[in-house]
Amino acid sequence: MLSTFLLLTTLCAAAQEVVLMDKNMFLKDIFDYQQSQEWKYKGDKPAIIDLYADWCAPCRMVAPIMKQLAKEYAGKVAFYKVNVDKERELAALFNASSIPLFVFIPADQTPQLFRGAADKETYKKVIEDFLLKKQ
């Protein structure tokens, strides 16, 4: 069962879709907060984590935008989503008291939180100006 999950996760990532993330994947691919309190991103490219819930109307409105952006930024930005009802520990880690909550993770800086739903152009601006901006 685990190998099937890993295979599907790998296939989704290869297709540049938004990948559903759980705690174990977060610890392995993003940041192991159980080993260190100091942020150290494990990824090789910037990432966006969408903290959402199935019952959240603004979350459902933003989901298609994230799918479009995942295709547009394929190979440049990794896109993940975390269901806060199923992954309460991750929700608590980011103090997700309201959703949707987006975690924008640059490859070499501290992540920034973006609360609430927005239009596609707003997300593109954050991606271009914060995640992909060359220093």
* Residue 59 is a catalytic residue: yes
CATH topology (fold) of 2-131: Glutaredoxin (3.40.30)
**Between these two residues, 11 and 97, which has the higher pLDDT value?**
97
What is the rounded CA–CA span in Å between residue 70 and residue 83? 18
pLDDT tens for each residue of 72-119: 999 999 999 999 999 999 999 999 999 999 999 999 889 999 999 999
Confidence (pLDDT) at 7: 42
Confidence (pLDDT) at 133: 87
Instruction: Strands of 75-120 (E only): list them.
Output: 78-83, 101-105, 112-115
Q: How many CA atoms lie within 13 A of 39 on its CB side?
A: 12
Beta-carbon count within 10 A of 53 CB: 17
Q: Which whole number is the average pLDDT over 49-70?
A: 97
Q: Which of 25, 59, 90, 91 is catalytic?
A: 59
Q: What percent of the chain has pLDDT over 90?
A: 83
- Where would I find the H helices in 15-99? 23-29, 57-72, 88-93
Entry pTM: 0.86
Q: Which of 56, 66, 69, 90 is catalytic?
A: 56
Quick check: 1 pLDDT over 60? no
Domain ranges, ordered by start, for the chain: 2-131
DSSP single-letter state for residue 107: S
